Amino acid sequence: MTATAPTDVERLQARIQELEQDRRHLLALIEILQEIAGSLHFVDIMQAIARRLGVAFGLDRCSIFLAERDNKTVRLVASYEDPSIKNYVVDLERYPELREALRSGQTVFIPDAATDTTLAHVKGSLAHRGVKSITVVPITWRGVAIGAILLRTFRDGPAFSEADVAFCQAVANLTAKALRTAHRFERLQGRAGEGGTPAQRAQERERVALIGFLRRLLDEFATREGPWREGILARSSAAEIERLVGVAMTVLAQEAAAR
């Protein structure tokens, strides 16, 4: 039996659906940008992205993982279904799809989790939660996978389309850049907490040393009576004082640099 060609109305309806999907993706992306723009702390950024993706697609699960150096574990840093779970170490042996995405740097898409042989060890759990598809999108920076976003859809929910996967890849790219910005910010905060740059820290130590020197010097003379009568000093004595001040400042600068 010959398949009937789609009518103009059907083609128009399909095009309208595509445009509606693009609109939803664009709105979700704008919401994500607005939310992460309000914070420079990576934990808040990751949780905002997981929540927005979970709401946008009505997911069973949306989790964001960051890779560990041992290549055997990952750290769960944000979770849509349970925002209280943070900084939780996960063994990659439990998530072969996650391991593959991190290894290859490519998106892993499992259209039917119930029939996928790599998920046989968790088949019962996935069936109990009614999971349909699983998508793992790597978060890459300079060609290296530094983490991944894992998304699971419900069996009775809408299927993940190619456009949905492309949207999630765009979000992953945005996540990588947001992570980089947050990392730089928190590193600057750490430096500020330590006293700023090396030059600034040296200046601070010099200031503290100067205050300590002056305090001890004044304490030494505090018990002596009489006014400070510098006017009676000879010019040679005043010049010697200026010289001694210069020597003291040099010593203080060297002392601060040595600490």
pLDDT of 166-183, one tens digit each?
888 888 888 888 877 766
> 141: closest CA among 197, 181, 191, 187?
181
pLDDT of 40-82, one tens digit each?
677 888 888 898 888 888 888 899 999 988 888 999 999 998 8
Rounded to the nearest integer, the mean pLDDT of the chain is 77
CATH topology of domain 18-193: Beta-Lactamase (3.30.450)
CA distances from 73 to 43, 65, 113 (A): 19, 10, 22
pLDDT of 176-232, one tens digit each?
888 777 666 556 556 555 555 666 666 666 666 666 666 666 555 555 545 545 555
Six-digit token string for 110 = 């499992």
> 136: closest CA among 162, 157, 160, 106?
106
Domain ranges of the chain: 18-193, 198-221+235-258
pLDDT(14) > 80: no
